[in-house]
Chain A
Amino acid sequence: MQQPGDRIFAASARGAGILILVVLAGVAAFLVIQAIPALVANPADLPGGKNIAVYVAPFVFGTVVSSAIALIIATPLAIAVALFITHYAPRRLAQGLGYLIDLLAAVPSIVFGLWGLAVLAPAMLGLSTWLNTYLGWIPLFAGPVSVTGRTMLVVGVTLAVMILPIITAVSREVFLQTPKLHEEAALALGATRWEMIRMSVLPFGRSGIISGAMLGLGRALGETMAVAIILSGSSIITFNLISSGNSSSIAANIALNFPDSTGVAVNTLIASGLVLFVITLLVNSLARYIINRRREFSGAN
C-alpha cells in the first residue's frame, strides 16, 4: 500500500537520478552540436589554416606530456606520504596530518597558477640549468634554458603538487584497509616494518594505488588555469622540457583563446574540448573499472 506522499517522493528521487543522466547526455550532445561547424568547415577558415586534427595534435601532445611529468613525480611521493600517514606517523598525529594534505587539494587551481609562476618558476631555474649542463645530451633537457622559468617542467611539477593529495587520499584509504592479521602475521614472523609493508600492505593496495594515479591523471589532463598562467605555450610539438618554446595543453589553449574568439574559431575550441572530454572519460573509466574490479574480489568491503 502506497500513500500519495510516498509516490511523489519516490518519483522525485527517481527524477533527480534521471536528470543527472539527461545532463550528462546534454554535455555530450551540446559539445558535439557546437563542434560540428568546425569539423565541416573549410580548413582554410580554421585557426592555423589546417584541418582540425592538425590543429589539436600539438595541444594533445602538451596535455599528455605535462600530465605524464606530473604523474611520474606525484605517484611515488604520494605513496610515500600515504605510507607515512598510515604506518609511520605517531597514531595521534596521523589524522591531523591527513587533513593537512587534504587542504592541499582544497587550494583553488588559480592560486597554484599564481604560485607556480611567482615562486616555483624562479626557484626551478637552478635545477633547470643544472639539468641542462649535466644531462643536456638527453633531448628532454637540451635547452637553451628559459630565463623566465615558464617551462613544461615547471608546469609538470605544479600539476604534481595539485594531484598529489588525490593520489594520497586514495592510497591512504586502501592502505588502511589492509587486513590487520596480514600485517601482524608478517611482524610476528620477524619482518621489519618495511618488510611487512612490502609483503602485506603494498600487494594489497596495488590496485588502489593504480586507480588513485589514474584519477590524478584525469585531474592533471583537465587542469586549466595553472597551465594557462605558467606556460606561454604555442602550437608546436617539442620534447624539450626546459626551454622557452613549449606545447600548450588543450584546456589552457581554450582558456587563453576563448574570450577573444568569434565564429568558427569558437567551434574549433569546443571541438578540442570534446577531444579532452573523451580522453579524460577514457582515463577515468579505466580508473573506475580497476577500483570496482577490486571491490568485487577483495572482500575488503
Chain B
Amino acid sequence: MSQKLSRRNVLAKISAALAAACAAPAAQAAKATVQKVLVESGGAKGYDPTKHKWAMAIDASRCIGCGSCADACKKENHVPEGHYYRTWIERYVITKPKPGSDEARGEVLVDSPEGGMHGFGPCPVPKEELLQSFFVPKLCNLCLHSPCAQVCPVGATFDSPDGAVLVDRKYCIGCGFCIQACPYGCRFMSPVTHTAEKCTLCYHRITRGLKPACVEVCPVQARIFGDLKNPVPDDPLQTFYKNNRVQTLKPHLGTEPRVMYAGIDKEVR
C-alpha cells in the first residue's frame, strides 16, 4: 500500500489524468481553428475593417437644437428608456457680465433636458441679460488614445481598426471602469444587458453603406460624417476640414479625439 502511494506514483497518475483531460479540448480547439481558417479564407468578405477609417465632425454653428439626432439614435439603437443617451445635445447660455463687474462674460448655464431629444424650451435667461447662446451635439469622441479601451480589464472595449470604439457585449463583465474613465461622459451601464454601452458610430449602418442615424436625420448638416481612407468627390468631411478652424474637446487630457468641432466656445468641455 505504502509503495502504491509513493510520490512518484502520485505524480505520474496526476500527469496522466491532466494529459487525458487536456487532450479532448485541445483537439476541439484545433478543429475550430482549422474550420475557421478554411471557412473564412474561402468565403468572400463583404466588409474589411482595415480598409476604412470613419470619422465625424460637428459644426455647432449650424445646430438648431431640434433634437432629431438624439431621437433617431434612441430609435436606431434601441437605447433604453430614461436618462440613457449615446448622443445628446447641450445648450450653452452665457449671460452678460453683471453691471459694474470687470469680467468679460457672465455666468454659463448648460442644460440638456432629456438629452435634447424633444427640443429645448424657451431660453432660461431674459433677452436683455443674454450674451450668447448655442447648441452643441455630443457623442463618442472616437479618441485615438481611448481611456475607456485602456482601462477595460477583459478586452471588451476596443478600438476597431476602422476608427470606431466598440463594446463586445459577450465579453463585457459590467465592471463600469470604462464609464468612469471616459472624460466626455459618453458611456452608460445598460439597465437591460448590464453591460457598458456607447455610440458605435452606427457600426451596423456604416458597414452597410448607410450614414449613422444622427447624420441621416440632421436637417442642417451640423453633423458631418465620412471615410478618411476613401474620400468621395466633394467629400463633406474634407470640405469641413478645409473651410473651418476646428478644435477638439479637452485636448489637455491627451486622448486625441478624432471628432472635430467647429463653432464652439471656450466654455464647451
Are A and B genuine complex partners? no
